[in-house]
Structure 1
Amino acid sequence: MELLISQLIATIQRMWKYRWPSLLIAWVVGAIGAAVVFAVPNRYEASARIYVDTQSILKPLMSGLAVQPNVEQQVVMLSRTLISRPNVEKLIRMADLDLKSQSKNDQEALVESLTKTLSIQSTGKDNLYTLAYRDSQPEVAKRVIQSLVSIFIESSLGASRKDTATAATFLNEQIKGYEAKLEEAETRLKEFRLRNISMMAGDGKDSTARLSEMSSQLDRAKLELREALNARDAAKLQLEGERTRATNSLMQDSSAAIATPELDARLESQRKGLDALLQRFTEQHPDIVQTRKLIKELEEQKRKEVDELRKAALAAPAGAAPTNTNLAYQEISRILATAEVQVASLRARVEEYSSRYAQAMAQMKTAPQLEAEGAQLNRDYAIHKKNYEDLVARRESAAMSGDLEVASGVADFRLIDPPRVSPQPVAPNRMLMLPGALVLALGAGLFAAFAASQLRPVFHDANELREKTELPLLGVVSLILNDEARQQSRTDKIRFFAGVGALVLVFFIGLLTMYLLTYQAG
């Protein structure tokens, strides 16, 4: 600590040598600073306050039907973006500020100056905005604020209408695009269905479900066919028994007439069935082909049986009578004929289901790809349709929102405080600038003395000289001042401090005079 104090004392002693040049510099800097303070022109501030009312009775009534814009956010964004170059240029023309700017550089400088000087401040609540501008001419400042208020209100209305028109244009373009996409998707879906109309099922089932259903139908038809075959075989066994008994009876009765009632009944039944089938189907139908084949077989069987009975009747004793005309034999023959028709019908059904099942199995190789393609087309169509309907609904909502804004307005702008100019200049603050100039002058003097002491240093202490030169010090010669020299040194100090005090006093007098003038003007 002692070393630091000794170094500080040594620095002050070296600076003391250059006290008069530093005092002169302080006076020069002070005079220049005072001249600059008094030369800065006065600036007057014009201001206005605007209240933005964002409440409207129509907005809660139209909730859910129209888009409710965030009016507070729009106004805040408008206040932040209002001071833009196009608006500033418009402001210059409205306030006639461009009359004095002749060259392009002057106009650019004016735009830059206004951009930096204009201010729009919000209180943070109650939607109050303060517009302010400072200029050396009060009337110019007032005109600028009046023009800025007009631009602020017009920009809010124009921005809302422009946003509505832009949204409507954008939605219309998107709707046209989706109309084209929807028509294209409908065309692709129609062409796909026409190409694969045989694969399309109206029940909405896929190929696997249809194949499973066909398999169930085929199994059921096969089961019914087996049941009919079993019933027919049982009827044949019963008929054979009756035929055996009738043959035996015919062998015993030689006078019996030769007749085949069961075959006649079966042939009659088959012929009636054939007539019924011909009314419903063509000659190539499997049931008709099968029935004709069965009739031919029955006729051949009747011929053989008649031959056998005739031979038996010839071999039988005279007077024997046939017994194949009993009621049981006729009933069994009728049942057998019905069973034969049912078997033929079921066999044709099994063949048809087998053909369909085989065809479905063959189509299973391409069915998944077709179903995937159909699902993709349906999905694309559904997406385009949904987007199209949503866009149409939003366009109607946007149109209703635009009508709502026209009817109620985005917000109600109320001019609370009209543009006015402060009677007293708000800048520069000379009461603060004068002490600053004094501090600057004193600092310049001290810096000049310090710089001179560092450029041309002297040593006032033996230890300091020994440390700087690193040479042995043999001795120190002291200077003894007489009375005249001490008196001259004292006078010199008084003059120096008087010069410093005079500098401070001049600034104090200037500050006091300025305060009195400001107080009298206020």
Structure 2
Amino acid sequence: MNGLIDELRAALFSVWHRRWIALGVAWGVCLLGWLAVATVPNSYQSRARIFVQLDDPLADQIGIGMGDRRRDIDRVRQTLTSAVSLEKVVRSTSLGDGINTPKQMENMVLALGKAVKVVNQQDNLFEITAVSTDGSLPDAQSARLAQDIVQKLIDIFREENLAGGRGEMSDTIAFMNQQLADRQKQLEAAEQRRLTFEAKYPELSQGGASLVQRMEAGRAQVRDLDADIAAAQSALAAINGQLAGTPSTLSGPGTGGARGALSDAQAQLAAMRARGLTDSHPDVIAMKNQVAQLRAATAFEGPATGTPNPAYSSLQSIRAEKQANLQALQTRRASAQADLARVDAQQIENPAVAGEAQRISRDYDVLKQQYDKLLQDREALRLRGQVEDERSAVKFQVIDPPTTPRSPVAPNRPLLLLGVLVIGIGAGVAAAFAVAQLRSTFQTTARLEKALGLPVLGAISHTLTDSARALQGKRLKYFIAGSAALGGVFVMLLAAEMIQRGMVA
């Protein structure tokens, strides 16, 4: 620990012994550094905030939704920093003074693009900032230039969303009208070709439908009729089963015996067949044998007596209706099958003509669909344009107008001046210490003993005369004055900086 303290004392002594070197180096470094700081131009920043209202009930109703508006605003925000927009800013502000060549304009646009920022702070809030760094202008004019740049950007923002959007909508509608006119001419030509073909081949045309469409429609109709016929046959079979199990007459008083048993057996046999049992089923065979025996037994009885059964008469009416319905369906199916066969035969007999009919019909259908789609889009765009003109969903409001900079944002000149002072003092101390290390002198007896490896018995102190002590005191006063002057220059520079900022404000 004592050795470390001795080394520190030796270093301080060597620096103090060469304090004039330290003071001179500090003055030189500080003057050069302060001169460099003075040449750095001030940068002034102006900012503004804009609120953009996006929601509008009528706009949402016709399809101008939040997503579309946000995409439009993102597009405008991106185009604000484009070369075209920045060139407008340059030409409308003092930045354009002295620019005579395209190369100068390009360099200025690139520099302005680095100094301008458009930030989306929230969904509806935008912040526009611009930094002006022009050493050729006074600070007050440079601050004013930053404000002018932000104001011009706000104007461009408004023009791009209002006037620019309406102009684009008008151009789009004009383009849609031109496309509609072209599609209408093509559609009229295709319709004329279709009418000419139908007049020449009436058997291959039916309301503009192609042969493929007609064949598909015919097959679909046949399939539907087959399903209806199957349902009608099933219903008729059910009615026949019920009719077979229902007696035509009701037995009167005193009748029955074998004849009543025969009716019951026949009803049971009909019910078995209605359930789908075949004649080879054992139950059906047994029931048929029973029916035969009962018929033989009723041959010895007298003629049957009884009243007509109303249920049997109702079932007969229903069966007649089902039979007529089934016959009508079968007739319709035969007609549809004949039409399908005729179309198929026409396609086989005249493949070239059939192909021409399909091509004409296909071209007409495609053009008709395109025309209808363009017409709907044109009307939607026209309604959208009217809403944007009369009730624009995007409404701008300047929350914070462009600020007038009161102080530069860069550089931090007071801090730089203090830093240069610290560096200058450090450089002076380092220079004095380095010079002391280059000279072969020993500041303490301990260092001499360590260097020689021999014991040192003592040291003779430096004694001064009265005149020498007076001269030393005078030099010390000069050194203190020189150091105070360095600090005074630093204070004067800080005061000048504060006065300059006050003049800008």
State the TM-score, normalizing by the size of structure 2: 0.50
Contact kept, 8 Å, 1:46 with 1:420, in 2: the verdict is yes
1:83 is aligned, of 81, 84, 92, to: 81
Q: Which runs of 5+ in 1 are unaligned?
A: 1-19, 214-357, 449-476, 488-498
CA distance in structure 1 between the aligned counterparts of 2:112 and 2:217, rounded to whole angstroms? 78
CA distance in 2, matches of 1:208, 1:71: 46
Q: From the superposition, tell whether residues 511 and 399 of structure 1 become closer, same or farther in structure 2 (CA, over 3 Å).
A: farther
CA distance in structure 2 between the aligned counterparts of 1:101 and 1:42, rounded to whole angstroms: 22
Question: Gaps spanning 5+ residues in structure 2: where?
Answer: 1-19, 134-138, 223-340, 432-450, 463-478
The superposition leaves residues 142-183 of structure 1 with CA deviations (integer Å, 9 ceiling, x where unpaired) of 333333322221222122112202221221232123223322
Q: Sort the Cα spacing of 1:198 and 1:69 in 2 relative to 1 into closer, same or farther, 3 A.
A: same
Match of 1:63 in 2: 62
Q: Pairwise mapping of residues 338-357 of structure 1 onto structure 2 (< 5 A)?
A: none
- With over 3 angstroms needed to count, the CA separation of the structure-2 counterparts of 1:371 and 1:118, relative to structure 1, is same
- The residue number in structure 2 matching 1:162 is 167
Letter in 2 for 1:166: D
The 1:486/1:193 distance shift into structure 2, 3 A limit, reads: farther
What's 1:377 paired with? 360
Aligned 8 A contact 1:164 1:402 in 2: yes
Q: Which letter does structure 2 place at the counterpart of 1:388?
A: Y
- Alignment partner of 1:514 out of 494, 499, 502: 494
Structure 2 distance, partners of 1:508, 1:103, is 48
Matched, 1:152 2:157: yes
Amino acid at match of 2:37: V
Q: Does 1:414 align with 2:414?
A: no
Describe how 1:269-288 pairs up with structure 2 within 5 A. none
* Corresponding letter in the other structure for 2:96: D
In structure 2, give the amino acid aligned to 1:395: R
Aligned residue in 1 for 2:197: 192
Structure 1 CA distance for aligned equivalents of residues 173 and 194 of structure 2: 31
CA distance in 1, matches of 2:96, 2:374: 48
Amino acid at match of 1:393: Q
Measured in 1, the distance between the counterparts of 2:129 and 2:202 equals: 74
Secondary structure at 2:397 match in 1: strand
Which TM-score applies when normalising by structure 1?
0.49
Query: Helix, strand or coil: the match of 1:50?
Result: strand
Distance 1:361 1:425 in 2: 89
Change in Cα spacing, 1:209 to 1:183, as seen in structure 2 (3 Å) is same
Count of residue correspondences? 335
Instruction: Please report how far the alpha carbon of residue 116 of structure 1 lies from its aligned counterpart in structure 2 after TM superposition.
Output: 2.0
- How far 1:55 moved relative to its partner? 2.7
Q: 2:370 corresponds to which residue? A: 387
- Separation of aligned partners in 1, 2:132 and 2:365: 62
Aligned partner of 2:148 among 121, 143, 147: 143
Contact 1:146–1:419 (8 Å) recurs in 2 = yes
Instruction: Tell me which residue corresponds to 2:387.
Output: 404
Q: Using a 3 Å threshold, how does the CA distance of structure 1 residues 132 and 207 change in structure 2: closer, same or farther? A: closer
2:35 matched to 1:35? yes
Could you tell me whether the CA contact under 8 Å between 1:48 and 1:417 is conserved in 2?
A: yes
- Output the CA distance in 2 between the equivalents of 1:397 and 1:191: 35
Identity %, equivalent residues: 27
User: Is contact 1:68-1:401 (8 Å) kept?
Assistant: no
In 2, are the aligned partners of 1:182 and 1:381 still within 8 Å (CA)? yes
Secondary structure in 1 matching 2:401: strand
Say if 2:54 and 2:69, in contact at 8 Å, map to a contact too. Answer: yes
**8 Å contact kept, 1:206–1:371:** no
Residues 146 and 178 (structure 1), Cα distance of their counterparts in 2 relative to 1, 3 Å cut: same
The amino acid of 1:172's aligned partner reads N
The RMSD of aligned alpha carbons is 5.5
Deviations 1:94-134 (CA, angstroms, capped at 9, x unpaired): 32443344666554443333222122222133323334333
CA 1:397–1:95 in 2, change beyond 3 Å: closer, same or farther? Answer: same
Residues 1:208 and 1:165: Cα distance change in structure 2 (over 3 Å): closer
Partner residue, 2:117: 119
Of 412, 427, 450, 1:429 maps to 412
| Alignment check: 8 A CA contact 2:50 2:127 kept | yes
Aligned to 1:41, what secondary structure does the other structure show? coil
Secondary structure at 2:55 match in 1: coil
Maintained 8 Å contact 2:116/2:128: no
1:208 and 1:108 map into 2 onto residues whose CA distance is 68
Deviations 1:483-508 (A, max 9, x none): 88999xxxxxxxxxxx9xx99x9699
Instruction: After TM superposition, give the deviation of residue 396 of structure 1 in Å.
Output: 1.0
- Is the alpha carbon distance of 1:507 and 1:169 closer, same or farther for their aligned partners in structure 2, counting shifts above 3 Å? farther
Residue-by-residue CA offset, 1:176-221 (whole Å, 9 max, x unaligned): 23223322322332343344334446797549979xx9xxxxxxxx
* Cα separation, partners in 2 of 1:382 and 1:517, compared to 1, 3 Å: same
How much has 1:400 moved relative to structure 2?
0.9
Q: Does the CA-based 8 Å contact 2:44-2:405 persist in structure 1?
A: yes
| 8 A contact 1:67–1:401 mirrored in 2 | no
Query: Partners in 1 of 2:218 and 2:402 — Cα distance?
Result: 82
Write the distance in 1 (CA, Å) between the matches of 2:31 and 2:409: 24
Partner of 1:335: none
Tell me the secondary structure at the aligned position of residue 70 of structure 1: helix
Q: Which residue number in structure 2 is paired with residue 45 of structure 1?
A: 45
Letter in 2 for 1:402: G
Larger Rg: 1
Cα deviation, 1:435-462, whole Å, max 9, x if unaligned, reads 66579879999999xxxxxxxxxxxxxx
Offset at 1:38? 2.6
Q: Distance in 1 between matches of 2:459 and 2:373?
A: 107
For 2:184, give the aligned amino acid.
Answer: E
Query: For the structure 1 residues 69 and 207, does the alpha-carbon distance in structure 2 shift closer, same or farther, using more than 3 Å as the test?
Result: closer
> How many Å apart are 1:515 and its aligned residue?
9.0
Contact 2:347 2:354 in 1 (8 A): no
Query: For residues 515 and 56 of structure 1, do their structure 2 counterparts lie closer, same or farther at Cα, with a shift above 3 Å needed?
Result: farther
Instruction: Give the Å deviation of 1:403.
Output: 0.7
